[in-house]
Amino acid sequence: MTSASLDHYFDSFRTQFVLPSGLIYLDGNSLGVLPKASSVAVQRAVEHEWGQDLIRSWNTADWINAPERCGDKIAKLIGANEGEVVACDSTSVNLFKVLVSALKLAEHDPSRNVIVSDIDNFPTDLYIAQGLRELLTSRSLELRFVKHDEVADAIDAKTAVVMLTEVDYRTGERYDMRVMTAHAQANGAMMIWDLAHSAGAFSVELNACNADFAVGCGYKYLNGGPGAPAFVFAANRHLQALDAINAPAPISGWFAHAAPFAFESEFRVTRGAKRFLVGTPPILQFAAFEASLDIWLTVDMGKIREQSLVLTDLFIREVEARCGSTRSPQAELTLATPRAHHARGSQVSFRHSEGYAIMQALIARNVIGDFRAPDILRFGFTPLYVTKQDVVAAATHLENILATCEWDQPKFKQKQAVT
């Protein structure tokens, strides 16, 4: 596909999002922009479904099945089958659920008591594993957190679970899902993937890679809105195995009950992916999220990846050409993201000792990216609404900020609660 025709393909999608005039938004990897359809869907849910139909909407608007319905739509974007994905809760809570489930399936071999992860994994993933170790004291879990290049060697006959985020949240470096999954399973371990920076960034192929479990969020590339429901995937073979041994729900909330509206005093776990549900779904969040998912189901994910690589390549070239002077402070700006296409997601990160202040100066110019400690300027590229013109303009702003030391002001160095 030619560059012009690819640009034209995304023009129609750009009009479906709310984009403030004069704003260059390169933070879709942290919070996706608002789909216009989501505003309409939330208004309908508030004014008609809640406002007029009230509690009847659990049936008439099918509120009750929102987690499964949205899960099946997400499944199409991540290479899963219907019935293998449910949307619910947060990524952190869902990671707890799949860790518990994976460890349950590994219970037959008590010698397997190690959880392996990347020490640079997103901290909440590491925290969940640490908390689980404290809860399951009888299991004597060992946490083996190592550097990226040491993960493969850390997996051995004692490993029960390997949990990795497919795309590094700081640098954008991408694990090879197929290779790492095969390696973990060859050593008898379960493989859990965090898709927080994958879903919506490129085509994910969970079943083609034989993944065991996965989690992900809805508010980044998928544009579900702040606090959007996350999602959890379990391969059908594991759902069947959990059902066969009547494994308990990882969190025995009433929506994981086999008959929640029977209001029984004793918990009976349901079958299939619904075992990962807990409590009442947040319907207004689901309304916004599902409207966005309906847009995503019309997108060619191959074209998403093709344009993502065009935009990220262009940004790297422009920044290095404009900000590559040997004069200080430009010389401190170094690329943290892999150049090889297969090794990166849909973001570009640069390191700079004054990264926080530089990013605040960019934001003041209406170029929105974000900062990750200790020194990462992070830029996310969503082809649905980011253009080549945005990319060049952003690089130009960065060049000017560095050339004039515009960042070197107290107001840009004052740390805010969210970076």
DSSP state at residue 414: S
Q: How confident is the model over 278-301, as pLDDT tens digits?
A: 999 999 999 999 999 999 999 999
Mean pLDDT of all residues in 258-280: 96
Mean pLDDT of 155-181: 97
C-alpha closest to that of 234 among 96, 33, 83: 83
Instruction: Give the lowest-confidence range in 136-140, 266-270, 370-374.
Output: 136-140
339 is catalytic: no
Helices (H) and strands (E) in the chain, counts: 14, 13
Q: How many CB atoms lie within 10 A of CB 290?
A: 22
Q: How far is CA 133 from CA 84, 180, 212, 275, 404, in A?
A: 27, 24, 21, 22, 50
Catalytic residue among 220, 275, 322, 372: 220
Integer-rounded Cα radius of gyration of the chain: 22
Q: What is the model's pLDDT at position 326?
A: 44
Give domain limits for the chain.
Answer: 3-30+300-413, 39-296
> Do the domains 39-296 and 3-30+300-413 match in fold?
no
Active site residue 127: no
CB 88 within 8 A of CB 232: yes
Q: What is the DSSP letter of 220?
A: S
- Helix, strand or coil for residue 193? strand
Choose the catalytic residue: 125, 194, 212, 375: 194
Q: Please report which confidence band the pLDDT of residue 42 belongs to, taking 50, 70 and 90 as the band edges.
A: very high
> pLDDT by residue (tens digit) across 360-402?
999 999 999 999 999 999 999 999 999 999 999 999 999 999 9
- For the domain bounded by 3-30+300-413, which CATH number is listed? 3.90.1150.10
Does residue 122 have an active-site annotation? yes
Of the candidates 13, 145, 175, 219, the residue annotated as catalytic is: 219
Q: Which pTM does this prediction carry? A: 0.95
- Please classify residue 361 by burial: count the beta carbons closer than 10 Å to its beta carbon, then call 0-12 exposed, 13-18 middle and 19+ buried: buried
User: Which of 10, 378, 381, 390 is the catalytic position?
Assistant: 378
CB-CB contact of 232 with 85 (8 Å)? yes
82-92 pLDDT, tens digit each: 999 999 999 99
Range list of H helices, 45-192: 57-60, 66-75, 91-105, 123-135, 151-154, 177-186
Closest CA to 212 of 179, 243, 236: 236
302-349 tens-digit pLDDT:
999 999 999 999 999 999 999 875 455 555 899 999 999 999 999 999
Domain 39-296 has CATH 3.40.640.10: yes
